[in-house]
Structure 1
Amino acid sequence: MTASPNPRELLRRMFDAAVASAQPALCVPPHLPTPAQLGGGRLIVIGAGKASAAMAQAVEEHWPGPLTGLVVTRYGYGAPCQRIEIVEAAHPVPDAAGLAAAQRMLAFVKGLTPQDLVLCLISGGGSALLPLPGPGLTLQHKQDVNRALLKSGATISEMNCVRRHLSGIKGGRLAAACHPARVLTLLISDVPGDNPIDIASGPTVADPSTCADALAVIRRYGIEVPPQVRALLDSGAGESVKPGDPRLVGNAVRMIAAPQLALEAAAAVARQAGVTPYILGDALEGEAREVGKVLAGMALQVARHGQPVPAPCVLLSGGETTVTLRGQGRGGRNVECLLSSAITLGGQAGVYGIACDTDGVDGAEDIAGALIDPSTLARAWAKGIAPKDALDHNDGHGFFQALGDSVITGPTRTNVNDFRALLIEAAPAQP
């Protein structure tokens, strides 16, 4: 490396660049409509997600005409707005504030005309922040199912399939409620594959999945659900808005930020430091500890054999892993993945790593993730901490906090999924 003598600092700069690339102030303005496109109608702003308040702020700063709106974001993720009301609610398990916001949002878009334009600002986290129950369900039912899904090991796509069919607002229902107004949705993706239906469970896009698909997910993971939930799915009353629905004709969806763009921003920082970046993928999924093993195995091959690429280099990846909770630790898929990598690396000289959630929250903790270096395991053992025990108890946050290696950003007000990097230094020259 040439520009940074400290690999940990370089890793943190790469993560910061990934987050900065997805800041709404940067990515929202180029996609805003013009006043001329309204044709005399009104602009109504709605939205949900961890980045939605910052997105709303960007709209206000760049929209010259009148507007009104309502947006819901996670507690602590608000941003000052004058014309768009910002509501805060709970994530990842929904609460009454989110329920009230969802009810108000549906009421807010009633009675619109074909001349009106609804600008919908959607980002990751919106699913929990709009917890309007479907017919016959309560908020408690939604909370119970959400907790069970989070512990099950299901992928984000599978979880959102279930959520859409238990909802009164997701799976295209919010866009249908806006009819006959036009809807323009701006998306910041936090899901592998960037499928709009999986971002906040797709409140403004048509959903091809079915109640039968949701039931299949529940059976696949042995998830216990209240009888009212099963009855709703069995009856088909939870069906979402399907492709071809006339209420969605003429609507538009634009992807304005995504994990791939964040990885490319990090790669640029690496190149400036004289380190060759290799992007392994922006949609890596699987059990977090298993993904950690695989990534570490690749880093070991580079460090020991210069294959498939020579050091110095950094292996970059994004996506969303899963954690099947078995222990009583403090969880977090990024710290679980990174701890697994550290154990597999076994203190390998010259290998450093970072794994963080770009929204600043890994699991239920206000901690983005953590860093590792060749001394990680030795420092843990010196403190009487057994790394494998911490992994077995799903206690990645406890492990890294004890070492002082947690990465804490505070609210980033954006969300383009997980960021992982393993940096391999060139081996020192032999005398």
Structure 2
Amino acid sequence: MTMPTDHRKNLLKIFQSALAAVNGRVCVRERLKERPLPGKVYMIAVGKAAGAMAQGAQDVMGGNLVDALIITKKGHAEPLPWPVLEAGHPLVDESSLEAGRRLLAFVDRIPKDASVIVLISGGASALVEALPPQISLERFQEINRWILGSGLDINDYNRIRRRLSRLKGGRLAKLLYPRRVLCLVVSDVPGNDLRAIGSGPLVADEDLRRPLTLRKLPDFITEVLAHMPPAPAPDDACFQNIKREIVATLDNAKSAAVEAAKELGYQAMLEASFISGDALEAGARLAKKLSNSEPGTVHVWGGETTVQLPESPGRGGRNQSLALAAAMMLRGRDDAWFLSAGTDGTDGPTDDAGALVDGGTIARGESAGHNAEQALARADAGTFLEASGDLIQTGPTGTNVMDIMLGLKMTSGN
């Protein structure tokens, strides 16, 4: 008979299988093995998976890589024979601006007749930036803090950030022209919209040519939008030499999770809906569906929710809040387990990927003196989940395709 502890371990195995399927090194290596780039090539890699993706290119291209610049999140660097810059995330900081200066200088050094491979993954929007001279770092950080706490979804978030950058919204394409460019992308946005991944540095964006139609923006954001740098038109010649391909997506990770669940002997249900909106509502909704499902079934969801932050948020991120909300619905059950975690290995401004909860989570946290409802209200789910022993730590994963949620229902006592 499979013990409950084995079910927890199996959910973690399924999650790890999902991560392996979208690992940046593996995905870039396989793409370049199928269709290698000829001749000498320069490389730019930006994002949380930049180091892993650059390793994949190095595995195939080796000495054909003339020079490279890698920009990634602090703590996500990989050993590589080229400069690896670690910069701020989720807020742009001085290191992000320094990365922007280094990127502009690197592009200037690339011969006009050279080929360039650009590797982009989630996090690129914050990790490298070049601002218009009228916008200070302090004002830009104020804008980003407001957006992060506003509950705006990632698409609207990026619509604002693309307008305020000298690199995003196709502007890097203009800087690289007339060089030949292959852009390989690990997608971290709904619908795999290339304009939104890394804020679309190599993609034409018609939206930038229209007024921004978001309601309730504070005056200080409306004022700085007047200083938006010019962006290339969709028919600009700078886009003619650029080829773009997505090499890893959330759907790839979900499919791998389904296969892993089946190999472990479970039934598997691939949930097509994209999980978005408020994390607390999503956690309760998914836990309810899990509770009503057939025993022996693993549900595989994916998406990206939001958390409305109080003035002084505690420890945690959207996955921890979602998991704790699910745990409240599962309280007292001995037949259900639920996991929610970021595929990049981080959840909010923490080093935890998320959490794996069960029917005993609330009791364990309460016995340590914590209150789940208060923790959720304070955006402090991480403190409760640390006490209950349910946090997940993976370290940097070499990928970033949003969040995975897994639910397992068994018969009671199994």
Q: Check the 8 A contact 1:71/1:86 in 2, yes or no.
A: yes
2:24 aligns to what? 24
2:404 to 411, 419, 426: 419
1:169 shift after superposition: 0.4
Whole-angstrom distance in 1 between the partners of 2:3 and 2:121: 35
Does residue 261 in structure 1 map to residue 252 in structure 2?
Answer: yes
Q: Check the 8 A contact 1:121/1:187 in 2, yes or no.
A: yes
1:100 aligns to what? 98
Cα deviation per residue 1:212-255 (whole Å; 9 max; x = unaligned)?
A: 55x433x34x44535751432xxxx4453332221111311111
1:305 aligns to what? none
Does residue 12 in structure 1 map to residue 3 in structure 2?
Answer: no
1:113 shift after superposition: 5.4
Q: Secondary structure at the match of 1:79?
A: coil
Q: Secondary structure at the match of 2:190?
A: coil
Q: Check the 8 A contact 1:325/1:394 in 2, yes or no.
A: yes
Q: Check the 8 A contact 2:323/2:340 in 1, yes or no.
A: yes
Whole-angstrom distance in 2 between the partners of 1:34 and 1:182: 19
Cα deviation per residue 1:299-334 (whole Å; 9 max; x = unaligned)?
A: 1221xxxxxxx2211111111111111263223000
Read off the aligned partner of 1:225 and give its amino acid letter.
Answer: F
Whole-angstrom distance in 2 between the partners of 1:400 and 1:371: 9
Task: Specify whether residues 241 and 293 from structure 1 end up closer, same or farther in structure 2 by C-alpha distance, changes over 3 A only.
Answer: farther
1:409 shift after superposition: 1.2
Whole-angstrom distance in 2 between the partners of 1:357 and 1:34: 29
Task: Specify whether residues 158 and 278 from structure 1 end up closer, same or farther in structure 2 by C-alpha distance, changes over 3 A only.
Answer: same
2:205 aligns to what? 207
Q: Check the 8 A contact 2:362/2:388 in 1, yes or no.
A: no
1:307 aligns to what? none
Does residue 72 in structure 1 map to residue 67 in structure 2?
Answer: no
Whole-angstrom distance in 2 between the partners of 1:97 and 1:381: 41
Percent identical among aligned pairs is 36
Read off the aligned partner of 2:30 and give its amino acid letter.
Answer: P
Cα deviation per residue 1:143-201 (whole Å; 9 max; x = unaligned)?
A: 11111111110001110110000001011111111000111110001111111111111
Task: Specify whether residues 46 and 97 from structure 1 end up closer, same or farther in structure 2 by C-alpha distance, changes over 3 A only.
Answer: same
Q: Check the 8 A contact 1:96/1:139 in 2, yes or no.
A: yes
Which shows bigger deviation, 57-66 or 143-152? 57-66
Cα deviation per residue 1:114-162 (whole Å; 9 max; x = unaligned)?
A: 6421100100000000121135212222211111111110001110110
Does residue 141 in structure 1 map to residue 139 in structure 2?
Answer: yes
Task: Specify whether residues 362 and 35 from structure 1 end up closer, same or farther in structure 2 by C-alpha distance, changes over 3 A only.
Answer: closer
1:242 aligns to what? 233
Q: Secondary structure at the match of 2:268?
A: strand
1:366 to 333, 351, 354: 351
1:229 to 224, 230, 253: 224
Q: Secondary structure at the match of 2:83?
A: strand
Read off the aligned partner of 1:244 and give its amino acid letter.
Answer: D
Task: Specify whether residues 288 and 150 from structure 1 end up closer, same or farther in structure 2 by C-alpha distance, changes over 3 A only.
Answer: same
Q: Secondary structure at the match of 2:406?
A: strand
1:53 shift after superposition: 1.3
Q: Check the 8 A contact 1:152/1:223 in 2, yes or no.
A: no
1:325 aligns to what? 309
Whole-angstrom distance in 1 between the partners of 2:115 and 2:103: 15
Cα deviation per residue 1:359-380 (whole Å; 9 max; x = unaligned)?
A: 1110000111111111112222
1:394 shift after superposition: 1.1
Q: Check the 8 A contact 2:42/2:110 in 1, yes or no.
A: no
Whole-angstrom distance in 2 between the partners of 1:225 and 1:281: 39
1:343 to 321, 328, 336: 328
Task: Specify whether residues 135 and 62 from structure 1 end up closer, same or farther in structure 2 by C-alpha distance, changes over 3 A only.
Answer: same
Structure-to-structure mapping, 1:304-315, within 5 angstroms: 310-315=294-299
Q: Secondary structure at the match of 1:197?
A: coil
2:54 aligns to what? 56
Tell me the TM-score normalised to structure 2 length: 0.93
1:289 shift after superposition: 0.9
Does residue 278 in structure 1 map to residue 262 in structure 2?
Answer: no
Q: Secondary structure at the match of 1:290?
A: helix
2:150 aligns to what? 152
Whole-angstrom distance in 2 between the partners of 1:114 and 1:74: 29
Read off the aligned partner of 2:252 and give its amino acid letter.
Answer: L
Structure 2: which 5+ residue stretches go unaligned?
none
Cα deviation per residue 1:365-412 (whole Å; 9 max; x = unaligned)?
A: 011111111111222222232211111111111110111211111122
Tell me the TM-score normalised to structure 1 length: 0.89
Does residue 216 in structure 1 map to residue 194 in structure 2?
Answer: no
Task: Specify whether residues 167 and 76 from structure 1 end up closer, same or farther in structure 2 by C-alpha distance, changes over 3 A only.
Answer: same
1:386 aligns to what? 371
